[in-house]
Amino acid sequence: MYIDLRKNLVYFRQLNCFDVVGENDTHTEGFLRSRFEKASLCSPCIFVLRHIDALSQTTQNPETGKGTYFISSHLTDGLNQNFIALTFGDILLECMSTLRQSWSLTGFPVVVIATTDRPEDTDTRIMSCFKHEISFNVSIEMYFQTCG
């Protein structure tokens, strides 16, 4: 589907994932979901997730000093309360699924682009949320010519 930019307004939203990572994983999950919901409301939209590798760095356990990639998501069905373990990759997959459902209802897509300068440090579950991976190297000289 092509969008004629002369007839339609395409929104651009970006999110620095270092800003998403909060004091605990529940806060991070809620903030991430709310940003995807806002992008959905702005469709058609290009949503850029900068520094996606930040989601691989979760809060540390003070006893062990090691981080964990799992968060607990609270589910309720009537009187029963269940907790399930989800990775941030699972959360991203759910958010992307919600965007696809919204697209089928509105007819307008949200294109999600993630960037990182450390793909080797990014959780494979997070990387699997994206269909295409484009890698390129930028020399320091070229970076300063364009950005600096």
The yes-or-no verdict on residue 6 having pLDDT over 60 is no
Using DSSP's 3-state secondary structure scheme, residue 62 falls into coil
Q: By the 8 A CB rule, do 54 and 128 touch?
A: no
Average pLDDT, the chain: 75
pLDDT of 132 above 90 = no
115 or 4: which carries more pLDDT confidence?
A: 115
- Determine the pLDDT at residue 148: 53
What pLDDT score was predicted for residue 65?
42
**pLDDT tens column, 17-56:** 888 887 777 778 888 889 999 999 888 899 999 998 888 8
Place of tokens 């010519």: 145
CA 114 to centroid of chain Cα atoms: 7
